[in-house]
Structure formats: C-alpha cells, structure tokens
Amino acid sequence: MNKLLYFAAFVWLSLPVGGQTIESPVNRQLQWKDACYDPNIRSIQLFKGDNELSLPALTLGMDEYLTLWFDDLSTDRSPLRYTIVHCTADWEEDNLFLTDYLEGYPENWFYDYAHSHITRIGYVHYTLQIPNRDVQLKASGNYLLKVYEESASKPVFVRGFSVVDPKVAATTLRLRGPAVTGEPCLQQLEIAVAHPQLEVRNAFRELKVRVEQNDYRTPGAEQPTPAFVDNGRTDFSQINRNWYAGGNEFRFFDTRNPDFNGQGIVQIRTDEQGFTYALLQPDRPRDKKYFHERDLNGRFRIDAARTVDRHTEADYVTAIFTLLRDTPFDGEVYVFGALSNHTLHPAFRMEYNTQRQAYELNTLVKQGLYNYRYVVLRHDGTVDWEAIEGCFAETENTYHVYVFFRGIRDRYDRLAGLFTVHSER
C-alpha cells in the first residue's frame, strides 16, 4: 500500500493547477446535459434552494431559486460570464426566441465570488442564484446554463436544469422490483398521467416522457411511449418496455479530515510542501455480487473539518484511485459520477499499470464526501455499465420522470410534469 502512496506522490500527473488545456468529454453515446470543457473548473454543483443534493428544477411562477457553486483553479482567468438557453426535451437547443423564455439580459457577469484562503491549492469560488436581478425565466422546459470567458459558443462548462409548469398529475407511478418481476438485473417503471388541463389531441405525438436515473439520462434505454389513452388519461406502462438496469450501489470515500483515514481511504497524508494525498481503498470488480450500502446516488457534498467557510477553506486533495484487475479490459476505464459531471471525461480516464496489474488514476477533488463507480468505454464506442459494477434489481435508485407536452400550436417542449420515484431493495 505504501508503495502506491509514495509512487503517486512522485508522479503527480495531470493536475490542473495553472493548466489551460481545454478537454471535452468523450461524447460517443451519452447525451450530456452537464459537461465541463476546462480542467481548471472543478466541484460544479447546481441544485434547488439550499439543498445541494436536490434536483436542479424550479416550478414556474413560484418563489424558488437555483444555486450554482463551482471553483476555478486557474491563475489568469478573464472575468466569467453566463447565458441561459432553452432546450428541447432531449437537451438540444431549440429555436425559441429569447424574449419568449427570458426576461432580463441575455449575457451576464458573475458578481459573487471569493478567493480561497488557508488552502495549499488556490482557487476562486463562484456562487450564482437563478433567477436574479439580471435574468428571470418565463417558460417551462429544459434549459442549459452556459458559463464562458469570451464566447458562449466556447463555454468552459454547461449545466442543465428544468422549469416545470404543473399541468399533469401522475395517477400511476411506481417501480416494479425483483419480487414482482423476477428479473435479477432490471427495474421496470409504471407510469400513467392525467392531463385535464391540457388540450391533448394526439397523445402519441404531443406527449413525451423522459426518464433520468440518479440525475442522468439512462444511456441506451428506450424512453416510455403511450400504451393507450382513455378519457384524459395516458398510460405509458407496457409489459415489455420501460426496463432500466439497476446497476450496483455507488462506491464511497471521505476526505473531510486530512488527519485520519475516512471511509474508503487507506492512507491520507500531507507532504512537506503542504499538498495532501488520499489513497483510496483498492477496488475490485464486483459484477458477481450486489453490495447493500446506503449511498448518495452518485452525488458529492463538499465539507472539511475545522473550517468556518467550507466553500473557500476546503482544500483540494489528490485522490488516488486503484482498480485491481489481472488483465486490462477491452476498452477504456473511467471513474464516473457527479465528480466527473456524469460524463466520461479524459480527466477521469484510468491508466492500466501492467506491473501492478491495476488501473490507476490521480485526480484533484475538493475535501468532502464522494460517490463514484467505474464504467468501461468499449472500442466500438458503446458504454458498458455492468462489466465492473454488475447489474442487480435490488439496487436503490432514484428516477426522475419528465412529462413534456408540445401541442399543435406550440413552438417548444413544455414541461408539464416532473415526478420522482425511488426503487426499493
């Protein structure tokens, strides 16, 4: 173990302090609504109100707000700006006029930021609330928040959020687990909605349902389509559809306190220059067994011991991931979760060490609690979610169900319902 720790300390590879290389997610299969294109931007969180583990979604016309937090580790950044664009149900920018969905200025500056202090790695912490005095939202649907320096066409990162105008009610919303289906891997969603407030002429064309599992669009899964319509009610439940891979519970590590080994940490230490390294418990593939463990469903929470303001006093730690494997996989292995912005990003791609027979990755994370899992990007471009983590119907997952309506006279996808359901073990 110590050899791994000391080896990692001397090969502090690809740390983004001061770097200016723009990197893009490996965008071959997944639909990214969240993406970071600059390795100096870290710890991005967008959520509702003050609950940093909540879904970034607002109710139209209600006194609600979103909060954005992120850090910039660069030393020579130009002032950052942001813009907001309206999107389709599938997170593609639509052609809606800006005045149809937004009041205020199309481009705005960040005014709320603070420099870190008492940290070894310096950064600037940014905070933004939406809506604010500069911009308010007028339409329901999906939105992309773009943060950039010079041009919105070259953002440093993008973040998706939604605004719902509740017009439908879920009359059926449940997940059928293995006790009912007998399926060892899959979870089945049943959903039906009543829509008396909408003038639905053709539910098969005008209603769309999109499902996200643990804050990201389930890759490769078929989206629900109407099974039948009856008296203002549309049922999307079908015997052979709406199946989602259960996966496995997320792995976990805790870097809040640099003075002792938190959960999932084998050894944590600070070198003579003040840089902190955390050697995570070496992992193994667990595709053969379900692990019953409570998790954050892929999210993270920033926190640090002995700090007054965690946002500017929490330091960055080099997390050292190790995945033991006698032979390499047929493809690339990535660390995945909210810490990677739910993307397969080059900064979270692991390298196989033939001598150690293990995949390894060193990457910066801010002190806190983290969930993660491993995925394989096959050479043919497909993403294998099960090769390392397995697939089990007992896994606890959170599903967000978005119901969109686009009537014959509408020019955009209106979000008419947003519901959440949890699978049960």
Reply yes or no on whether the pLDDT at 31 is more than 60: no
Average pLDDT over residues 223-229: 92
pLDDT interval class at 29 (50, 70, 90): very low
The two tokens of residue 416 are: 């008419």
pLDDT interval class at 25 (50, 70, 90): low
Quick one: what percent of the chain has pLDDT higher than 90?
A: 81
**pLDDT higher at 289 or 210:** 210
Q: pLDDT digit string (tens) for 338-348?
A: 999 999 999 99
Which residue's entry shows tokens 């499902």? 211
CATH for the stretch 251-384: 2.60.40
> Quick check: 246 and 392 in contact, CB under 8 A?
yes
Architecture of domain 169-246+396-422: Sandwich (2.60)
Q: pLDDT digit string (tens) for 233-268?
A: 999 998 888 989 999 999 999 999 999 999 999 999
CA distance 12 to 56: 34
pLDDT of amino acid 4: 46
Q: Quick one: CA dihedral 228, 233, 238, 239, positive or negative?
A: negative
pLDDT interval class at 293 (50, 70, 90): confident
Q: What residue ranges do the domains of the chain occupy?
A: 41-76+79-164, 169-246+396-422, 251-384
pLDDT of amino acid 59: 98
The two tokens of residue 276 are: 């902190």
Select 41-76+79-164's CATH number: 1.10.3470, 3.30.160, 2.40.160, 2.60.40. 2.60.40
Q: pLDDT digit string (tens) for 357-389?
A: 999 999 999 999 999 999 999 999 899 999 999
- Which helix (H) or strand (E) segment holds residue 419: the answer is strand 414-422
Q: Please check whether the two domains, 41-76+79-164 and 251-384, share a CATH topology.
A: yes
Q: Which residues contact 385 (CB under 8 A, 6 or more apart)?
A: 219, 245, 247, 375, 391
